Chain A
């Protein structure tokens, strides 16, 4: 698939990195998406927070591992998520 221009950025949708719920190492904890911190379609830099997951006594920001265009998956705020569940993708900037 060819490159698509988004503003001045060149992104390659085929080169997308998945953003998944990491293992919090808290057995039995219910994980809830407590908020999106980045809108779908927004440009993100590596390390920028994408969303926040609440595991009861701790809230964890999920950062972008790469720079690119973030696309949220269809997870609603306050929805229960599973370890390894897909939160979105980052279309890498060329």
Chain B
């Protein structure tokens, strides 16, 4: 289990990477660190525009014509995670906690709850209180869906994670149904963002900083490492991103 003495986390700030680059890196990390490691790696990044489609999603949830998708440069990628369709774009913070679950003896449900809690705590730290609901593992606000938790467990390691819309360009978000089910007090399955929710500027650097602290707290780690980039990312791109 997690404890202040034992939990080890390395936070990697990746900057902007494509989803495909990230997926290759995640696969490499899972294959090399599955059972042997006791270190949690939390990777934070923003993705270039793309739509990922999880196991609960389908192209019926993407209500954009092919020519509009092409004009917007929006491709779609099927990914082996839970959840539905997610439009990724700069301004959306992706947080990927890769946890060796056997080492820490945590269940899939516990990981989902902890990741959601960490995102909720980060928002509290930013003086924003999301709607409190145990309806699902997503983060809901007055204006709709702010954050999504969509994960997988592969070789005993948690993959994928949480996506929080901070201040992305909102064009096209209204045509992507992300939530698989909607609470009674909500009307849309599409994503909103923190900027619309707070109606004041939100700096991504502040959100990242709050996210690091909240993940360290929720995973009970008092001594963590903060690293810019990741060695594997360098090997995939030929340069540090």
Chain A interface (Cβ < 8 Å from any Cβ of B) = 23-27, 29, 34, 47, 49, 52, 54-61, 63
With contact pairs A54-B55, A57-B137 given, residues A26 and B155 touching in the complex (Cβ less than 8 Å): no
Does B238 belong to the interface (CB within 8 Å)?
no
The yes or no answer to B74 lying at the interface (CB within 8 A) is no
Complexed CA–CA distance, A60 and B110 (Å): 13
**Do B108 and A55 have beta carbons less than 8 Å apart?**
yes
Asked if residues A24 and B107 are in contact (CB atoms below 8 Å), the reply is yes
Q: Which among A23, A27, A57 is the interface contact of B82 at CB below 8 angstroms?
A: A57
The answer to whether B154 touches A61 (Cβ under 8 A) is yes
Q: Give the interface centre of B34, B112, B150 by most chain A CB atoms within 10 Å.
A: B112
Q: Is the CB of A47 within 8 A of B109?
A: no
Interchain CB contact under 8 A, B155 and A49: yes
Could you say which residues of chain A place their CB within 8 Å of the CB of B156?
A: 63
Q: Which of B56, B110, B149, B155 contacts A61 (CB 8 A)?
A: B155
Interface positions of B (Cβ within 8 A of A) = 34-35, 54-56, 80-83, 107-112, 136-138, 149-156, 180
**Contacts A25-B110, A63-B156: A56 and B35 contacting too (C-beta < 8 A)?**
no
Most buried by B among A47, A52, A54, A56: A56
Q: Are A58 and B154 in contact (CB under 8 A)?
A: no
Distance from B26 Cβ to chain A, minimum over Cβ atoms (Å): 13
Q: How far is B96's CA from A10's CA once the two chains are assembled, in angstroms?
A: 43
C-alpha spacing A79/B107, complex, angstroms: 22
Q: Which residues of A contact B155 (CB under 8 A)?
A: 47, 49, 61, 63
Chain A hits for B55, CB < 8 A: 34, 54, 59
What are the residues of chain B within 8 A of A55 when measuring CB–CB? 82, 108
**15 A-B contacts (beta carbon < 8 Å):** A24-B108, A25-B109, A25-B110, A47-B34, A47-B35, A47-B155, A55-B82, A57-B149, A58-B82, A58-B108, A58-B111, A58-B151, A59-B81, A60-B108, A61-B152
What is the CB-to-nearest-CB distance from B120 to chain A, in angstroms, rounded to a whole number? 15
Contact A26 B180 (CB under 8 A): no
Shortest C-beta distance, B164 to chain A (Å), equals: 15
Contacts of B109 on A, CB cut-off 8 Å? 24-27, 29
Q: Are B35 and A58 in contact (CB under 8 A)?
A: no
**Do the beta carbons of A59 and B153 come within 8 Å of each other?**
yes
Given contacts A25-B109, A26-B108, contact A56 B180 (CB under 8 A): yes
Complex: chain A residue closest to B149, CB-CB: A57
Q: How far is the CA of A58 from the CA of B56 in the complex (A)?
A: 10
Whether the pair A60, B35 counts as a contact (CB closer than 8 A) is no
The one of B83, B110, B154 in contact with A57, judged by C-beta atoms closer than 8 angstroms, is B83
Chain B residue with the shortest CB-CB distance to A54: B55
B222 to chain A, nearest CB (A): 26
Contact among B56, B83, B152, B180 for A60, CB-based, below 8 A: B152
Cβ B112 vs Cβ A61 within 8 A: no
A58 touches B107 (CB 8 A): no
Contacts of B56 in A (CB 8 A): 54, 56-57
